[in-house]
Amino acid sequence: MRKTDYNFKAPALPYPTSSYDQISQQEHNKILRIYFNQLDASLQTALDIGPYASFAKSASVAFASADTEQVITYDTPTYADGITQGTPSSRIVFEGSGKYLLAFTAQIYSTNASTVDFYFFPKINGSAVTGSTIKANLHGNGETIVVSRSAIFSMNANDYLEVGCACSSTDGSLNAFAATAFAPATPSTTLAITRISRSII
């Protein structure tokens, strides 16, 4: 059963009296007023747009060493509410707890004719998430593809997320292609975050 933050239900109203009674009517109205006040507050909360953020990196990301973990530092988010960059700025900080949907992309690129492996994985509070790695590879000089994955994570208030990555060769990179006459520039990586539930299930 899905847990929610709502701890009320429709009230059990008293049976009507055989004739009008002011005190009974007042009590009836009081019960309904309390219930509808709770309902109004809950609907406002449910319809409120929760924390979100849209991150991208406009520059390419190089790998200084082969098979060595590094973290991605995104540009200042285009849109964000309740999610900020921390210190260092590779940290993405969540102000509120709940379940969050994360959608990640990376434009992987290679200048090596041999196979080059790329690895990506989320880290929460400095620890890699078990079983979360994306592994992809390229096999030709100048070859590029976009890798992506969406996943749901439970976060507590003030937790932070980082995107870890590594490559088997320094000839691999996350490439930001320049704009052309017919298409805008390509970000090297993007990350979109939306809270989908306020309660930890």
Total-model pTM: 0.78
Coil/strand/helix, residue 78: coil
pLDDT at residue 3 above 60?
no
Is the distance from CB of 103 to CB of 148 less than 8 angstroms? yes
Direct distance between the N- and C-terminal alpha carbons of the chain, in angstroms, rounded to an integer: 9
Coil/strand/helix, residue 162: strand
Is the distance from CB of 90 to CB of 161 less than 8 angstroms? no
Spans of all domains in the chain:
8-48, 52-197
Specify the fold of 52-197: Jelly Rolls (2.60.120)
Segment holding 57, helix H or strand E: strand 52-57
Going by the DSSP 8-state scheme, the letter that residue 9 receives in this structure is: -
pLDDT at residue 155 above 70?
yes
Coil/strand/helix, residue 71: strand
Q: pLDDT tens digit string along 82-138?
A: 999 999 999 999 999 999 999 999 999 999 999 999 999 999 999 999 999 999 999
Q: pLDDT tens digit string along 44-92?
A: 666 666 799 999 999 999 999 999 999 999 999 989 999 999 999 999 9
